[in-house]
Amino acid sequence: MSATKTALVTGASSGIGRAFAVALAEQGYQVIAVARRVERLQALLDSLPQHEAGHQMQVADLANPTDLQSLLSRFDQQHINLLINNAGASILEPFHESELSTQQNLLNLNCGATVTLAHRFLQQAEAGDTLINVASIVSFLPTPAQPMYSASKAFLAAFSECLWEEQRHRGVYVMGLCPGITRTEFIEQATRGEANGDNLPASLVQSPEAVVKEALVALKKRRHAIVVTGRSNRMMMQLPRLLSRHRLLKVLAKLGDPEAAL
Q: For the segment 42-93, what is each residue's pLDDT rounded down to a tens digit?
A: 999 999 987 666 899 999 999 999 999 999 999 999 999 999 999 999 988 8
Element (H, E) at 156: helix 147-167
pLDDT at 259 over 70: no
CATH architecture classification, 6-261: 3-Layer(aba) Sandwich (3.40)
Confidence (pTM): 0.90
Closest CA to 83 of 118, 111, 47: 118
Exposure b/e, 100-136, CB count within 10 A at least 16 = b: eeeeebbbbbbbbbbebbbebbbeebeeebbbbbbbb
Strand-pair category, 30-35 with 6-10: parallel
- For the cut 80, the answer to whether the pLDDT of residue 262 exceeds it is no
What is the per-residue pLDDT for 194? 46
Alpha-carbon distance of 255 to 194, in angstroms, equals: 17
User: Worst-scoring range by mean pLDDT, 48-52, 93-97, 144-148?
Assistant: 48-52
